[in-house]
Amino acid sequence: MKLIRFGPAGQEKQGVLDDAGTLRDLSGALDGTAAYLSDAYMAQIAALDLAALPAVPADTRVGACVTGVGNFIAIGLNYADHAAEAGMDIPAEPILFNKAPSCIVGPNDDVRIPPGSEKTDWEVELAVVIGKTGSYIAEADAMDHVAGFCVCNDVSEREYQLERGGTWTKGKGSPTFGPLGPWLVTRDEVDTADLAMTLSVNGDTVQNGSTSTMIFKVPHLVSYVSHFMELQAGDVITTGTPPGVGMGLKPQRYLKPGDEMVLEIAGLGVQRQTAVATP
């Protein structure tokens, strides 16, 4: 299934795509007894006659595909070819850092460049959405805790991240730095072994990679993160990016107001964002 949240920012409702690609309004169809994103919640949706649900107008805003995100965890240098691009060694263990949940926006919302920023960058990433709470999860059980997957743009301010001291988190959580969606695709429909990933800026393809070059795979990451914090339904783990970020280009290239980004991961949909100056 492909789950979508739609409507004005802060007032989104839950929707689902039917087999014909029509967005259907789920907000009045679920009985509320199943925990959000649990297997029981997904089973309720699967049992519905989607064609009988109200269709959502095609021009309706699409919001982030998940709500109630407590932990927004990112994995650094998790693609071998991106580590080579950055001139950094492949890590012995996953590198973890936080993105602020407050940075989450819809897949087509504007990305705001922080005031005075000259190094705002892009990163197309596969994000994992947790569906079941767990701590110290065994790798063999990790996928039982996953609700599904979505596209993430891990927008990054490189000066804040790398030149201001401390942790990478400084460059990762500015407002609008976490577009998620358009869809949350349930785990039964996604094989993460070799998903094509692309990102273009103003029509120029700068990232063209695959999840096949991930160093640490999804089950390992879910298990690993759960040893440092409790993962809860709605938490997001975004799993790293392939080469082609602005910092790695020669010459380096960063976002300017008016730049348009288009991101796509095979089977997970397309994002489109315009970079704008922060008012």
Q: Is 266 exposed, middle or buried (0-12, 13-18, 19+ CB in 10 A)?
A: middle
Q: Is the pLDDT of residue 105 over 80?
A: yes
Residue 98: inside a domain = yes
pLDDT at 58: 92
Are 145 and 35 in contact by the 8 Å Cβ rule? The answer is no
Task: Please give the model's pTM, rounded to 2 decimal places.
Answer: 0.96
Are 36 and 108 found together in one domain?
Answer: no
Are 77 and 30 found together in one domain?
Answer: no
Residue 265: inside a domain = yes
Are 102 and 190 found together in one domain?
Answer: yes
Instruction: Tell me the helices (H) and strands (E) count for the chain, helix number first.
Output: 4, 18
Residue 67: inside a domain = no
What confidence tier does 80 reach under pLDDT thresholds 50, 70, 90?
Answer: confident
Q: Is the pLDDT of residue 31 over 90?
A: no
Residue 258: inside a domain = yes
Residue 66: inside a domain = no
- Domain region containing 96: 72-277
| Number of compact structural domains in the chain | 2
Are 197 and 269 found together in one domain?
Answer: yes
Residue 57: inside a domain = no
CA distance linking residue 198 with residue 243, whole number of Å: 10
pLDDT at 171: 97
Residue 59: inside a domain = no
Are 102 and 30 found together in one domain?
Answer: no
| CA 32 vs CA 52, 66, 96: distances in Å | 19, 16, 34
The residue-averaged pLDDT of 193-219 equals 97
At 115, which CATH number?
3.90.850.10
Q: Is the pLDDT of residue 86 over 90?
A: no
pLDDT at 194: 97
Q: Where are the alpha helices (DSSP H) in the chain?
A: 39-46, 80-86, 158-162, 218-226
pLDDT at 84: 78
Q: What percent of the chain has pLDDT over 90?
A: 92
